[in-house]
């Protein structure tokens, strides 16, 4: 618990609370849509324990893509709590928001194995290339070149007679 208490960044919480309070005062409809629409991102942030939070970014990015058209509607058509409430109670709207988040999550799950397979193929190709290089060196310089023991060089030859 002590660690948990130490890990809390009270200044950030305070800043977040202040921003939240300000947004509640000046842009409550947007806040309502964002809060409900970005719930999957919140969930992803909670369950993504990695330091880099790639999952959160992935879900959040696509989740935002699903939410932001409704935000723009609010901003440029009618920025009221009723409209906002109407949006978050519309199943289709929620489907769009959450489906985009789900697509983000799917992408987060699918892309890494694809990338890993690709890198593996690349590595095998590199190994083959290196093995071929080693064979070439050994043919040119003999098996001694593969020795990991540091062979002593040939004893210093005696004085060469002049022909």
Position 47 contacts other proteins (CB under 8 A): no
Position 29 contacts other proteins (CB under 8 A): no
Token pair belonging to 93: 């709207």
Closest CA to 67 of 31, 38, 92: 38
Binding residues for other proteins restricted to 142-161, rule: CB under 8 A: 142, 144-148, 153-161
User: Would you give the DSSP letter of residue 52?
Assistant: S
Position 78 contacts other proteins (CB under 8 A): no
Cα–Cα distance, 74 to 81 (Å, whole number): 9
Q: How far is CA 24 from CA 12, 19, 57, 71, in A?
A: 18, 8, 25, 15
Position 51 contacts other proteins (CB under 8 A): no
User: Judged by CB under 8 A, which of 68, 83, 94, 96 binds other proteins?
Assistant: 68
CB closer to other proteins out of 9 and 72:
72
Contact (Cβ atoms closer than 8 angstroms) between residue 4 and residue 16: no
Q: How many helices (H) and strands (E) does the chain have?
A: 7, 0
CB closer to other proteins out of 7 and 161:
161
CB closer to other proteins out of 4 and 144:
144
Position 121 contacts other proteins (CB under 8 A): no
Q: Which stretch binds other proteins (CB under 8 A): 5-13, 28-36, 87-95, 141-149?
A: 141-149
Closest CA to 101 of 42, 41, 49: 41
First to last CA, the chain: 90
The least distance separating other proteins from the CB of residue 109, rounded to whole angstroms, comes to 9
In the complex, which residues of this chain contact other proteins (CB under 8 A)? 50, 52, 54-55, 57-62, 64-65, 68-69, 72, 75-76, 104, 107-108, 111-117, 119-120, 123, 126-127, 130-131, 133-134, 137-142, 144-148, 153-163
């Amino acid at each position: 618990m002590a660690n948990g208490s130490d890990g809390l960044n009270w200044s950030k919480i305070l800043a977040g609370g202040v921003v939240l309070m300000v947004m509640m005062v000046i842009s409550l409809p947007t806040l309502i849509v964002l809060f409900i629409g970005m719930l999957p991102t919140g969930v992803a942030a909670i369950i993504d324990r990695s330091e880099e939070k790639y999952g959160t970014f992935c879900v959040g990015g696509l989740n935002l893509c699903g939410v932001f058209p409704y935000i723009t509607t609010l901003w440029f058509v009618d920025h009221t709590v009723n409209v906002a409430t109407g949006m978050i109670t519309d199943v289709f709207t929620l489907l769009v928001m959450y489906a985009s988040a789900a697509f983000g999550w799917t992408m987060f799950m699918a892309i890494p194995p694809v990338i890993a397979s690709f890198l593996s193929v690349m590595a095998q190709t590199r190994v083959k290339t290196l093995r071929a290089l080693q064979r070439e060196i050994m043919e040119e310089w003999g098996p001694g070149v593969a020795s990991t023991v540091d062979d002593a060089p040939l004893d210093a030859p005696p004085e060469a007679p002049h022909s």
